[in-house]
Amino acid sequence: MINQLETDLQEITSLLEKSERTRVQDVLKLEQKKIEKEISVKRHQKEQQAKREADPTSASKAYTVKINNYGWDQSEHFVKIYITLNGVHKIAPENVKVTFTERSFVLLVKDLDGKNHQMTINNLLNPVDVQDSSKKIKTDMVLVMCKKKTTKKWECLTQVQKQIKEKDKPSVNPDENADPSDGLMSMLKKMYSDGDDEMKRTINKAWSESQDKKAKGDGDISNMGMF
């Protein structure tokens, strides 16, 4: 494969020397750079393969690094997870494996800079189609593509993230017939309980002022005496 690429490179170099038109030269230069990069990658892969063959236990000796940083987005049919790993495109493709289940996936990158890299995502928000899920290796990046079983938009990547998100939402009184002031009081109680000293002073001041107004007969704020 490398010999064939080197032959292609020699031919393009020869054509480049003979060409006179700028437009043709630009096209040939682009192709020249592309082939040079491909040769570099293939040589690196060959060197890595030779090392593994010389010491078959080298990959197993490497320690495993846990991958925690990633980004994700989605299209109508796929949830896409982006994992940045410098030089991952230079190692043998078979060293990058992703194992899928309906609710999880495990990415394992072997022997990258003398280390193994692993990422495990459990409890995906919705089931995925294992058969049609896949991976792509890009420059310094692995793209994991989880095929959705439905076109429903995902709020979060995992069920745990959704639970945390819902827990952080302010509580709302579900009873439409309830006194609106009850909802206000619940919110103020939570703000007072969770707030810092400045917040508590502000709420206490508002309560004092509301009591003064109420005593004069023009107050419109509910009793906040529980503070």
Tell me the per-residue pLDDT of 13-32, one tens digit each, with 9 for 90 and over. 888 888 888 888 888 889 98
- Residue 52: pLDDT band with limits 50, 70, 90: low
CA distance 82 to 105: 13
Q: What span, in angstroms and rounded, lies between the C-alpha atoms of 186 and 200?
A: 15
- Which residue type, as a one-letter code, is found at position 164? I
- Closest by alpha carbon to 10, among 30, 44, 43, 36? 36
Q: Are residues 74 and 38 in the same domain?
A: no
Q: Is residue 5 part of a domain?
A: yes
Residue where one domain finishes, among candidates 54, 79, 95: 54
pLDDT classification of 69: cutoffs 50, 70, 90? very high
| Rounded-to-integer distance, Cα 227 and Cα 223, Å | 10
**CA atoms within 13 A of residue 18's CA, in its CB half-sphere:** 6
Q: Quick check: is 8 in a domain?
A: yes
70 and 135 share a domain? yes
Domain of 100 in residue numbering reads as 64-148
pLDDT at residue 21, rounded to an integer: 87
Which domain CATH number covers 90? 2.60.40.790
User: CA-CA distance, 159 to 117, in Å (whole number)?
Assistant: 24
For 197, half-sphere exposure in the C-beta direction (CA atoms, 13 angstrom radius) is: 0
Task: For residue 98, list its beta bridge partners.
Answer: 107
Average pLDDT, the chain: 82
**Inside any domain, residue 207:** no
Tell me: do 76 and 127 sit in the same domain.
yes
How many domains does the chain fold into?
Answer: 2
Give the pLDDT confidence score for residue 176 in this predicted structure. 55
* Segment 110-169, tens digit of pLDDT: 989 889 999 999 999 999 999 999 999 999 999 999 999 999 999 999 999 998 888 877
Q: Is position 35 within any domain?
A: yes
- 49 and 26 within one domain: yes
Chosen domain end from 116, 148, 180 = 148
Which of 120, 148, 176 is a domain's end point?
148
pTM: 0.54
